[in-house]
Structure 1
Amino acid sequence: MTTPRPQTARPAPTRVPAADRGATRIADRVIAKIAARAAFEALDPAARPPGTATAPHATVTVHHDIARVRIGLELGYPCDVAAVCAAVRRQVAERIEECTEMAVPEVDIDVERLHPVQARPTGRGRVR
């Protein structure tokens, strides 16, 4: 049987300034995923193309603490393209700044395709 060792008092840890502890780097692809998800959340269901599973995709370039973002979207047509893009731009910039504390001075949006929204059957008779 072993006897327990007496506990020795440990000195209190010294506080190291944040700048001396190291750095945290967030990969560009992680920021791109945050941007794509934020763009998807910003899209009104009416602006999303029906019947397609194409989610927005993003590419990001980070230099120091500044992220430049490019989003590719497919939208349902007709919709107010300018308003949808403004909402996506705002949501993406806010979400990246909130999650990563990086500045996002620009969010470029490429509307890659417009899908016509077809009349959906209402269950009453024929639809032309």
Structure 2
Amino acid sequence: MTGTTGRVGAAERGQTRIADRVVAKIAAQAAKEAVGERPEAAAPPRATVTVHHDTARVRVGLDLAYPCDIGRQCGSVRRRVAERVKALAGMEVPEVAVRVERLHPSGAGTAPEGSDR
């Protein structure tokens, strides 16, 4: 204890550790918010995270509607994920790798003839 007030100093109180899986959930939700409306058959975004001290490196996998501006969508996901992880977990996010895993036709009945849906 420090001083005579009975308060415990900051260095003596301990630390807060946020589990990687919690940061991954924050990142996946942020990616979902950034993408907006998803095609009906699209899987929700998935994220994996590596945390080292107060820095998180994030990988996000997602499905997108087709056609769309893929570069713009990925940029939006990167920005939103970095902002939300910093705001909610207090971590810097120097890297957000976005992997587009599937493209889903955006209209009903847009599958090419002879394809199985």
Question: What does the per-residue CA deviation read over 1:26-45, in whole Å, with 9 as the maximum and x for residues that have no partner?
Answer: 11000000000010011132
TM-score (norm 1): 0.77
Structure 1 residue ranges, 4+ long, deviating more than 3 angstroms after superposition: none
Tell me if structure 1 keeps the 8 A contact 2:30–2:84: yes
Following superposition of structure 1 onto structure 2, how do residues 95-106 of structure 1 map, counting pairs within 5 Å?
95-106=84-95
Verify: 1:78 aligned to 2:70, yes or no: no
- 2:34 alignment partner in structure 1: 42
Structure 2: stretches of 5+ with no match in the other structure: 110-117
Name the residue aligned to 1:115.
Answer: 104
Partner secondary structure for residue 68 of structure 2: coil
Match of residue 58, structure 1, among 33, 47, 67: 47
Counterpart in the other structure of 1:91: 80
> Aligned partner of 1:17: which letter?
G
Confirm or deny that 1:67 pairs with 2:56: yes
Task: Tell me the percent identity.
Answer: 61
**Helix, strand or coil for the counterpart of 1:85?**
helix
Larger radius of gyration: 1
TM-score, normalising length: structure 2? 0.84
1:22 aligns with 2:14: yes
- The residue aligned with 2:112 is none
CA contact (8 A) 2:56 2:91 kept: yes
In structure 1, runs of 5+ residues without a counterpart are 1-11, 121-128
Letter paired with 1:26? I
